[in-house]
Structure formats: C-alpha cells, structure tokens
Amino acid sequence: MMELPDHDRAFYDDGEWVSWDEINQQIEYKEWRAKYPKADLTLVPIFNNLLSTAAIYHADTGKHLHVYGDIGELYGAITCGMQLNRTYAQGSDGRLGNDLVEIKTISPIRQSDTVEVNMARNFSKLLIVRINENFDIRGKLIDRKSLRKSNGKIKVSWSQTEGVLII
C-alpha cells in the first residue's frame, strides 16, 4: 500500500502527490538558470554552500578555510559555463569552448588585488576571481593577448586590468 505524505507538506495533483519541497526546488532551479544561463546547475548548490561555509567559518572563528581556489573554479564553471579540468591537471584549469582558461582567485585574506600568472602554462584566457571581505564575488575574463609577454611569471592586477566583468 502506498504511504501518503504529510498533507501539510504535499498535495495531490493529476494523479500523484507533489511536495512543496519539489515545487520549491523547481523554482530555485529556474532562478539559478536565469542567473547562471550557462551553468551546470548541479554545481550551483555546491558553490553556494562552499562560499556560505567559508563566510560562516570566518564570522565564527576569525579564520579562513583554504577553499578559495575551489570557489574560484566553481565560479568560472557556473558563470561562464566552463568545463573544469580534473584536479591537478597540467596546463590550464578549464576549457571555455576552444579556449583553455587559467583561473586565479584573490581571496579575502589577500591585502593585494594582484595575482601571479605563470606565462609558461598553456592557456588562452585568464579568469581572475575576486572574493572580497564581505564574501561578494566577481570575475574578469581576460584574453592572454592583452597580458604582458613573458616566458616566466608576471603579476596581474585586478584594478588595472581590462576584461569582461562577469557577475
């Protein structure tokens, strides 16, 4: 015999029980699709939870978790639709169409808005993700052609770099 759900949390429609949790989840997915049209929506709750956990941990302890690089990569995946490479893959952090993307994250710990980029790596775009002290997050996608030529490491400043701002 089929168990009936709690009537306060579900209703019967078109021959089946529908819970409010299912409806709320569908609404949430539609909101995410509107905000992140290129995203793999399965990554959005992971991103939101990780960012929220880092913010709560900092508020409660005054310390920082070492998760900002992962948050930056997830941000690139959900805002740009980037396909992330496997963990510790040599070269770049992900792929955006035919472009290889290097991701650098400026964490709320950092006093500077500068990242160090190894120009010997194989990438055609640089995504700089900035997480400020309020845990607001933004990104700039920059063509490698607009960066200074070098075979070694260069410093790239968020404030002095032209790029496509990703919200």
Model pLDDT for residues 57-104, shown as the tens digit of each residue: 999 999 999 999 999 999 999 999 999 998 777 778 999 999 999 999
Q: For the chain, what is the mean pLDDT?
A: 88
Q: Cα(60)–Cα(62) distance, rounded to whole angstroms? A: 6
Please report, rounded to a whole number, the percentage of residues in the chain having pLDDT higher than 90.
Answer: 64
Dihedral pair phi/psi, residue 143, rounded to 5°: -70, 140
**160 pLDDT tier (thresholds 50, 70, 90):** confident
Q: What structural domains and CATH numbers belong to the chain? A: 18-166 (3.40.1350)
Confidence of residue 3 (pLDDT cuts 50, 70, 90): low
CB 123 within 8 A of CB 90: no
Residue 7 has pLDDT above 60, yes or no: no
Model pTM score: 0.83
Residue 39 pLDDT level (bands cut at 50, 70, 90)? confident
